[in-house]
Amino acid sequence: MHPFLKSRIGLALLLPFCVAGCAGQQQQIEAASAIKLTDDGFRPFREYSTGPITSGNAVGIGRKQLVGRVDRKTGAATFALQFEIAYNASNKRRYDSARNARAEPLPFHAVPRKAECDRRSGTCTYDELFVVTIPEADLRAAPAEGYQVKAFAKAGPDALISVPKPLIASLLARIDADRGGAAPAAASTPAPVPAPSATAQRTPRG
C-alpha cells in the first residue's frame, strides 16, 4: 500500500445509496475541516489529514481526502489528494493519470483493487483508489471555489475532483501554526506521492 494511503474506505457498500447524490455536503465539509494529526516519533514526518467527503451520482460515488506531511527537520511539506471511486460497469475504467486546471500533469499513484461481479447480469462493481500529489503553492493559491484535479481513465469517463477551499484552508492553517508561522520550505527531494465526486457530462465531479 502506498505510504499516503489510509485503510480501504469501502465505497462499493455505499453505491446503492449515493447514486442520487450523498446528502449533507456542507455538513461533511465542516466535519472534514477538523484536522487530524498523526505524530509518530519513529517517522521522519508529521502527518496531517482532513476528514473524508463523499458524494455521488449515476456515474458512481467518490470519496476524497486531503493529506499533508511535514518533514521534522526541514519543515518542508508534501500534499496529496486521496480519491476513491466506486461504480457499476461492464469494464474497469482504469484511471492512470491526473492534471490540474492548467493542464499540467500531477504525480499519480493507483492502487490495485478487485471487482465484484454478478455472473447473471455480467455487471461488476468496481472500486478504484488513487493518490495525486499537489504542489503546496497550488493549494495556497486555490480560488474560493477550491482546487480542481481531473483524473483520466483508459476506458470510461474522466473524474473531475474538487477539493473544497475550507479543507485546504484548515489544513494549511494547522500546518502553518505548528510550523510557527514560518515560511514554507521547499522540499529538496519530492516525497513519495501522498489519496480522495462525481457530476457532469459523464464526468464525475467531486
DSSP output for 40-84: -TTSSEEEEEPPPEEEEETTEEEEEEEEEEEETTT-BEEEEEEEE
Burial 119-128 (b: 16+ CB within 10 A, else e): eeeeebbbbb
Q: Are 165 and 145 in contact (CB under 8 A)?
A: yes
Q: Judging by DSSP bridges, how do beta strands 108-111 and 77-89 pair with one another? A: unpaired
174 is a domain residue: yes
C-alpha grid cell, residue 98: 491526473
* Domain span at 85: 11-178
Q: Label residue 149 left, alpha or beta by phi (over 0 means left) and psi (-120 to 50 means alpha).
A: beta
185 is a domain residue: no
What pLDDT digit, counting tens, does each position of 154-200 carry?
A: 999 999 999 999 999 999 999 999 988 654 544 444 444 443 333 33
Interior angle at CA 197, CA 196 and CA 202, nearest 5:
130
5 is a domain residue: no
63 is a domain residue: yes
pTM: 0.78
200 is a domain residue: no
55 is a domain residue: yes
pLDDT of residue 175: 97
CA 156 to centroid of chain Cα atoms: 19
Total domains present in the chain: 1
pLDDT of residue 114: 76
187 is a domain residue: no
Judged by DSSP in three states, 150 sits in strand
pLDDT over 60 at 12, yes or no: no
